Each structure stands twice: as C-alpha cells, then as structure tokens.
Chains A and B, each alone.
Chain A
Amino acid sequence: QKEVEQDPGPLSVPEGAIVSLNCTYSNSAFQYFMWYRQYSRKGPELLMYTYSSGNKEDGRFTAQVDKSSKYISLFIRDSQPSDSATYLCAMKSSTGANSKLTFGKGITLSVRP
C-alpha cells in the first residue's frame, strides 16, 4: 500500500458542477497538506496549503483535512473549463528544509463547457 492514495480518475463534469477530489493516507505523522494543479505539459503549481485538520477556503476552492480519518479533500465550486487539469495531493510530516513531500498519483479533471 502506498503512503498516499488518490482516486485514479479521470473525472469529467459539466461546467458549473461542484467537484470533489479526495486522497487518503496511511502515515499518521503527516501534518501539512497541499493540493497542486498541473496543466497539460506543465509543471505542478501549488493551489492550496493547509496545516492539520480543518477547512481552508480560497475563492471557489476549499481544502478539507480530516486527520482522524486520514482523509483530505479538495472541493471546486462552480467549476470552469479552465479548471481542467490534473490535481495532485501532497503531504509531509514536518516543516522546514529537511522535510519532503509525498505526492498522490493525481487525478485528471475535465470540465465540459
């Protein structure tokens, strides 16, 4: 079992839909949780960053962490065709220079106009 599991997808939704993307993890030491967005033939870019359990909202995006269930989610409201990309969850156990990220494999989202 990999440390971080992510739904494989792909996922296709109509414009305006609410999208829910999820990851589960097995390492209880993970405390820092991130979502990266990767457009086709580009490098990943940081979308959301959260520490420990709880919710964080940024515009149409909400990141949710449930450490008791070892489960994180990214919600996209009013999805747009420009949201079509691969979304990767990432997490790590400590902060600072000597910590490294563990990524999920990513899920490809397509938002149909």
Chain B
Amino acid sequence: DARVTQTPRHKVTEMGQEVTMRCQPILGHNTVFWYRQTMMQGLELLAYFRNRAPLDDSGMPKDRFSAEMPDATLATLKIQPSEPRDSAVYFCASGLGAVGQETQYFGPGTRLLVL
C-alpha cells in the first residue's frame, strides 16, 4: 500500500530554532506539494515541485522558509528561525502530475508547535 510518509510526526521547539521536516513521496510520483494547515487560514499551498524542480513557492515566506528536493525520494521543508506563528500542521502531498491524473495523495502531516 503506497503512502506518502512524513517525519517527524510531531515537533515542539522554541522560537528561533531551526526546524526540518521531511517527506518521502510515493514511488513514481513526480509532483510534490507542501501545504500548511491552520484553523484560521485552512490549507495553504507553500510550494510545489515537478521532477524535483521548484515550480511555485510564492506561498512561502522566503526569509525563513526553504523547500528542496535533494533526490526523487526526499523533499524537505526548513524553517529558520522558527516563530510561534509557524505553529501549524504541515502536509506533504505527491501526485503523478499528468493530465487526467490529478489526485494528490497526502501524508499524515507534521504537527509543529513553536513556543
């Protein structure tokens, strides 16, 4: 049963610390998305990649957030320095990115709390 995996599942950190979240997309999927979910804003797209190249990161605060895909099996989202307002659930999703293959498969999320 192919699934998107995310680590860590939970993270508590102090303001100013670096946070790194990791995602392993489903094998064979070439499109990867990073979302942030809060009660106030709902689900917001931060960045997405196709074939490891960033297509759009306009939803991401550039001064503190960065997203990369070192290889096809790993996507990372970093926050440095972290702030309390970054507290949220961060989801990674992957898909085939082809016409007619629109489904995005979400991981279980990383719950981040910045104190």
Report A84 CB to chain B, min CB distance, Å: 18
Would you give the shortest CB distance from A103 to chain B, in whole angstroms?
A: 4
A43-B103 in contact (CB<8A): no
Checking A42, A43, A97 against B93 with a beta-carbon cut-off of 8 angstroms, the contacting residue is A43
Say yes or no: A97 contacts B55, CB within 8 Å.
Answer: yes
Q: Is A100 an interface residue (CB 8 A)?
A: yes
Decide if the interface of chain B is mainly helix, strand, loop or mixed.
strand
15 additional A-B residue pairs with CB within 8 Å, beyond A46-B103, A97-B31, A97-B97: A34-B102, A43-B91, A43-B93, A43-B106, A43-B107, A44-B91, A45-B105, A49-B103, A97-B98, A98-B55, A100-B48, A103-B42, A103-B44, A105-B41, A106-B42
Q: How large is the interface on A (under 10, 10 to 19, 20 to 34, 35 or more residues)?
A: 20 to 34
A59 close to chain B: CB less than 8 A: no
Nearest-Cβ distance from residue A21 to partner chain B, whole angstroms: 15
Whether B100 contacts A95 by the Cβ 8 Å rule is yes
Q: How far is the CA of A36 from the CA of B83 in the complex (A)?
A: 30
B108 pairs with A101, CB closer than 8 A: no
